[in-house]
Structures are given as structure tokens and as C-alpha cells.
Amino acid sequence: MDPARRFYRPPIFRRLCGGLLLLVLCLRLGYVMTSSSHSRHVPVSGREYFVDSIPDTCHLFLTDPSGQPFKIRIIGIAQPTNDTQWSNLGRQHLQTLCKGKNVRLRLDRRRTDIDGTWLSHVYLDDQLISYSLAARGLVSVRANPSDSASILRQLRNAEAEAKRNRVGFWNHSAIETTAPVRDLTSSR
């Protein structure tokens, strides 16, 4: 067998590999349409949107002025995953703060997450919503290198202040444990 022909790939194989590579790149870059559960609406930075509902501390369902609904995730924060008490308090605070009101979005370099949900900083009047949540110890700050450095600095300062003052879930004495405590005084 000719050594040059040993590595020969037929044209159909090259086209198939090229097509698969292109598909993977498109999926990775987000050019493929998202699922029907996510809106195809593109939010505009600086525009006001109406807050319809708040499913948790990090997400908002909004409606644009034309009535088109869509979902966003607030950039830079993460809700407590294993503590429903603080998650509920964070959601309640967010509902009190902005449900039924107009909020302004500020999109960052990263536009969507891996699920296709829009990512944005959210302002009520001139107040950064995520700052309010971090300052009350209802969320933790989760940084991504592509997020706005100045806003993340503000969020980290708010979180540090909440930790220092033992506010929210940083107040370890306020955390209730559900594990049974073993009585060491009883006889065996």
C-alpha cells in the first residue's frame, strides 16, 4: 500500500467532519436558536422593562413595552443553593423591591448563559438590584472574568460589609440546624 494513501480520507468524510465542526462552533457561540421555553426577544441595554414575576433570587420574568415576555438572570450573584430559608427571603426581598415596577437593564459583554437565558445588571431607578441583595446578605457574589469589573467591585464590597456586620446568611448564629444533636450527658 502506498504510504501517501494510508492517511487519505475521502471527500465525504472531510465534508462530514467540517460540518460537525461548524455545528459545534455554532452551538458554542450561541448562533443556534434557543429552545421554545426561552424568548427570542433581544433586550436592549438602558431600556425599561416591566417585572412580571420573580421565580427566585437570581431570575426575573420581564415584559418589554410591546408586550413580549422574556427571562433574565441577574449578573454577578448566586443564591444559596442548599438553604431554602435564605433563598425564600431573597426572593421575597426582590419581590418587595421590584415586582410590578419598571426596571432598567444594563447588558454586559456576556449576553446569555449556557441555557440561553439573557444576562443583565438590573436597576430600579438608579439602584443596582444585585447590590441591594448582596448588602443584605441574601446572595453571594459570583464573578465571571468577562463581567464589568466596576460593578463586581461594588458587589464584593457589599458582600464584605454584610459578612463584617453578620447580615443575612453571614450571621451564623441565625442559621438553624436540622441535624439532631447527640446528648453527651446521658448514659450509654
- Reported as a pLDDT band with limits 50, 70 and 90, residue 123 is very high
Asked if the model's pLDDT at residue 177 lies above 80, the reply is no
Asked if the model's pLDDT at residue 164 lies above 70, the reply is yes
Mean pLDDT of 75-101: 83
Helices and strands (H, E) in the chain, number of each type: 4, 8
DSSP 173: G
Q: Which domains does the chain have, with CATH numbers?
A: 48-168 (2.40.50.90)
Other Cβ atoms closer than 10 A to 87? 19
- Reported as a pLDDT band with limits 50, 70 and 90, residue 71 is very high
Mean pLDDT of 43-57: 88
Mean pLDDT of 109-124: 87
Q: What is the pLDDT of residue 171?
A: 82
DSSP-assigned beta bridge partners for residue 149: none
Antiparallel, parallel or unpaired: β 118-124 and 69-74:
parallel
Between 77 and 185, the more confident residue is 77
Between 168 and 12, the more confident residue is 168
Mean pLDDT of 138-167: 88
Cell representation of residue 161: 460589609
Cell representation of residue 32: 443556534
Q: What is the pLDDT of residue 183?
A: 34
**Range with lowest mean pLDDT among 25-34, 134-143, 157-166:** 25-34
**Which segment, 18-27, 59-68, 137-146, is predicted with the most confidence on average?**
59-68
What's the chain's average pLDDT? 77
